[in-house]
Structure 1
Amino acid sequence: MNTLLRALRPTLRLRLTLLNGILLVGAGAIMLAVAWLTIDDVLHPASSLRLGTEVELGDGTRLPVGEWQDLVVAQSRAELLAKGLVALGVIGLFGVVAAYVVAGRSLRPLHQVTAMAQRLGEETLDQRIRYTGANDEVAELAATFDAMLDRLGESFEAQKRFVANASHELRTPLAVMRTEIDVTVTDDEADVQEFRRMAYVVRDASERANGLVDALLILARSEAQTGRRLARTVQADLADGVHAALSAQKNEIGRLKLDVSTDLRPAVAEGDPGLLERLAGNLIENAVRYNHLHGRLWARTESPGGGVVRLVVGNTGFEVDQADVPGLFEPFRRGGRERTGARGSGLGLSIVRAVCEAHGGTVAAVAQPGGGLEVTVTLPRA
């Protein structure tokens, strides 16, 4: 029963077939009607004969020429109607069958798309339609579906890498805490000083895990806003964010004896104030964290015109190959350093990029000669 209902459902193939049949039979019926109506105008042999002329038929019957003409027209109409209806039926049947076959061949890629969508899963994202037919709308649909699968595959792979990296990052501080606790608790000779040392190690590890969770939440929040209307928008000066970030990093800047130079002019953007403050904070934190003793840090904000504002933060530090710079904006990338040996979560520039995209802006970075990086953020001006 279900098979019968499925076969009789108004599919696109059936609708195209019926439409083609109706159009073909309708056109034939119109031509037949026109021919039937014009026979009287075409067949008028009596008009060339003398009035009162009679016509003798083959059976000896004699008829006035007018009656004979009416008889010829009636017979012609009857024969045209009979043969025309037969021809119309044959043409209609052939047209329906041909339309059904052609529609089936034309819609075959759609069935491939449907079948692939039904069996699509995480393990089959590498399959593609790869349509090789005519360059028509169906080919465009198949190509669009293949492109969508490419994007889905890339997204799944990026998600897998992100989850694996996040798990690795969280596992490290947790493992440190567990190891310190196990070693200290099982040490029968451990004194108060040893327990205090363990507490400091556990506190540092928990702070690292807490910082990673906070960074993941900010990254998720920023990426959720990308391509959508921001939930909260106010005017915020990027220069204020830089001032706040430098103040928060004052102790670390002093410890590394960094030479800080700023040129902070009004650069008012409109957006989420928390995200914009986090953007400036991450750039300053990265510039301090990946710097070296007696290094330099520079920051400037400006409104160059063209409806945009700009924030530039640069620093000295270890050398970065320009070819590796795009990868620094990926989560958990630290310019070639081992994740377990570097400070921070490796999410700083990822968050910067996500915040920029959420606000309709762009971010770019340039490796500095001798080491270091300069990051330029461009946002729409308020």
Structure 2
Amino acid sequence: MRAGLRSPRPTLRLRLTLFNGVLLVGALSAFVLLSWLLVTDALRPAEHLAPGTVVVLTDGRELDAATWQDQIADQASRELLAKALVALVAISAVGVLGAYAVVGRALRPLQQVTSTARRLGEQTLDQRIRYAGAGDEVAELAATFDDMLDRLSAAFEAQKRFVANASHELRTPLAVMRTEVDVTMADDTADVAEYRRMATVVRDASERANGLVDALLVLASSEAQSGRRLVRKVPADLSDGVCAALSAMQVETRRLKLDVRTALDPAVVVGDPSLLERLAGNLIENAVRYNHLHGRLWARTGSHGPHVYLLVGNTGFEVDQADVPGLFEPFRRGGRERTGARGSGLGLSIVRAVAAAHGGTVSAVAQPGGGLEVTVTLPAADDAPGMAGAPGDAAGPRAVRAG
């Protein structure tokens, strides 16, 4: 036999039918044997007669009772076996055919699953089995397969949107750079100042493209580790990440004259420090970037039972609570158009991916009058200090007021 070729095997329908046939034939054979034993035992009345008893037949012949008994028993046994074998063959044939039909009907959804799976492709993910039979295991399998197709379809659609948005975001700075270079090079009267202006625009666009690529890499890395073991697992304090992010955004917070208030209790988790620092940094950057002049920014960290939390809130433009879940999707900026919007629209997507990679959750609440408050909850480290408190408590924090 050539490698890669397997000998044909009987289908599940045929195997179930054969199994049912073997059981049926075995049960009927046992019944026939039992009947034969009972009949042969019942046809022995001469055993109760005296020795030498003679039986007179209708044709006038006289036979010994024991001999006559043996003849009757042999004849009854042969007739019983002949008729029983005919009945056995007939009932077995009907049983096997019936089992083949019933098993085929029961396995029809499996055939639908197979045919649907063979037809599936990127353009045919809308097909479903939609089995409407009895609520048995086959129906459960068909429903599970349909649910899996729903998840695959949603994942493919999300991937398409992600690729389209990513290509758009990358194409914009590249188009800006090429336009600036072409316009400046085509201007014969361009001087050094014009070339400096072009270089500044190209540098800014390249920084935007580089930042987007970095964000995409972080998002991909975080999502790849979601549900699996992290590459790095060391103790890290979320409050340190908040302090570092506020320090990095100091110039911008001063420019906007933001009122920054923090209440930072220890919030130690075990995970990847770089990803956790990026999580805190993205929340602080978003809180500053989407704020307004003389706005407010608040951040709190702490622990509550077996979990630690990081809460970051800000004032800003109004957000409908119904739109909040969409803010965690890539390239979503709270209803703002992509073109000209601040940031890449990946900040909260990265936050959600990093939280999921560390076994945590993230939620957001729209603030009355504008702004957003985001809370990240992560499993606490075993040796995390300060297990008292809850989101909103400010007892014993490292309180800082800036602005």
TM-score calculated relative to the size of structure 2? 0.90
| Equivalent runs, 1:269-308 vs 2, <5 Å | 269-305=269-305, 307-308=306-307
Where does residue 346 of structure 1 map in the other structure? Answer: 345
Residue 299 of structure 1 aligns with an amino acid whose one-letter code is: A
Where does residue 155 of structure 2 map in the other structure? Answer: 155
Where does residue 361 of structure 2 map in the other structure? Answer: 362
Where does residue 40 of structure 2 map in the other structure? Answer: 40
| Equivalent runs, 1:54-69 vs 2, <5 Å | 54-69=54-69
Where does residue 14 of structure 2 map in the other structure? Answer: 14
1: CA distance between counterparts of 2:24 and 2:307?
61
Deviations 1:337-357 (A, max 9, x none): 111121110000000011111
Q: Does 1:218 align with 2:218?
A: yes
3-state SS of 1:377 partner: strand
Where does residue 29 of structure 2 map in the other structure? Answer: 29
3-state SS of 1:338 partner: coil
Where does residue 227 of structure 1 map in the other structure? Answer: 227
3-state SS of 2:215 partner: helix
Where does residue 326 of structure 1 map in the other structure? Answer: 325
Q: Does 1:239 align with 2:239?
A: yes
Q: Does 1:196 align with 2:196?
A: yes
3-state SS of 2:123 partner: helix
3-state SS of 1:262 partner: strand
Where does residue 119 of structure 2 map in the other structure? Answer: 119
Residue 73 of structure 1 aligns with an amino acid whose one-letter code is: A
Deviations 1:178-214 (A, max 9, x none): 1111111100110000000000000000000000011
Task: Give the direction of change, closer, same or farther, for the CA distance of 1:225–1:7 in structure 2 (3 Å limit).
Answer: closer
Residue 333 of structure 1 aligns with an amino acid whose one-letter code is: R
2: CA distance between counterparts of 1:330 and 1:20?
54
Superposed displacement of residue 39, structure 1? 2.2
Q: Does 1:128 align with 2:132?
A: no
Where does residue 388 of structure 2 map in the other structure? Answer: none
3-state SS of 2:330 partner: coil
Superposed displacement of residue 8, structure 1? 6.7
2: CA distance between counterparts of 1:147 and 1:105?
23
3-state SS of 1:331 partner: coil
Where does residue 86 of structure 1 map in the other structure? Answer: 86
Superposed displacement of residue 46, structure 1? 2.1
| Equivalent runs, 1:166-185 vs 2, <5 Å | 166-185=166-185
Deviations 1:60-83 (A, max 9, x none): 332222222222222211111111
Superposed displacement of residue 255, structure 1? 1.5
Residue 187 of structure 1 aligns with an amino acid whose one-letter code is: D
3-state SS of 2:359 partner: coil
Task: Give the direction of change, closer, same or farther, for the CA distance of 1:333–1:44 in structure 2 (3 Å limit).
Answer: same
Superposed displacement of residue 251, structure 1? 1.4
2: CA distance between counterparts of 1:355 and 1:59?
104
Q: Which moved more, 1:93-102 or 1:201-210?
A: 93-102
Where does residue 109 of structure 1 map in the other structure? Answer: 109
Superposed displacement of residue 6, structure 1? 11
2: CA distance between counterparts of 1:353 and 1:256?
27
Where does residue 258 of structure 2 map in the other structure? Answer: 258
Deviations 1:15-44 (A, max 9, x none): 011111111111000011111122233223
Where does residue 381 of structure 1 map in the other structure? Answer: 380
3-state SS of 1:63 partner: strand
Where does residue 268 of structure 1 map in the other structure? Answer: 268
Superposed displacement of residue 234, structure 1? 1.1
Where does residue 96 of structure 1 map in the other structure? Answer: 96
Superposed displacement of residue 266, structure 1? 0.6
Superposed displacement of residue 58, structure 1? 3.5
Residue 46 of structure 1 aligns with an amino acid whose one-letter code is: A
Task: Give the direction of change, closer, same or farther, for the CA distance of 1:81–1:8 in structure 2 (3 Å limit).
Answer: farther
Superposed displacement of residue 264, structure 1? 0.6
Superposed displacement of residue 48, structure 1? 4.8
Superposed displacement of residue 93, structure 1? 1.2
1: CA distance between counterparts of 2:276 and 2:79?
87
CA root-mean-square deviation? 1.6
Residue 352 of structure 1 aligns with an amino acid whose one-letter code is: V
Task: Give the direction of change, closer, same or farther, for the CA distance of 1:78–1:70 in structure 2 (3 Å limit).
Answer: same
Deviations 1:209-255 (A, max 9, x none): 00001101111111111111212211111011111111111111122
3-state SS of 1:341 partner: coil
TM-score calculated relative to the size of structure 1? 0.95
Task: Give the direction of change, closer, same or farther, for the CA distance of 1:7–1:84 in structure 2 (3 Å limit).
Answer: farther
Q: Which moved more, 1:217-226 or 1:70-79?
A: 70-79
**Structure showing the higher helix proportion among its residues:** 1
Deviations 1:111-167 (A, max 9, x none): 111111111111111111111222211111111111111111111111111111111
2: CA distance between counterparts of 1:175 and 1:142?
49
2: CA distance between counterparts of 1:273 and 1:75?
93
Superposed displacement of residue 104, structure 1? 1.5
Task: Give the direction of change, closer, same or farther, for the CA distance of 1:272–1:59 in structure 2 (3 Å limit).
Answer: farther
Superposed displacement of residue 309, structure 1? 0.3
3-state SS of 2:270 partner: strand
Where does residue 144 of structure 1 map in the other structure? Answer: 144
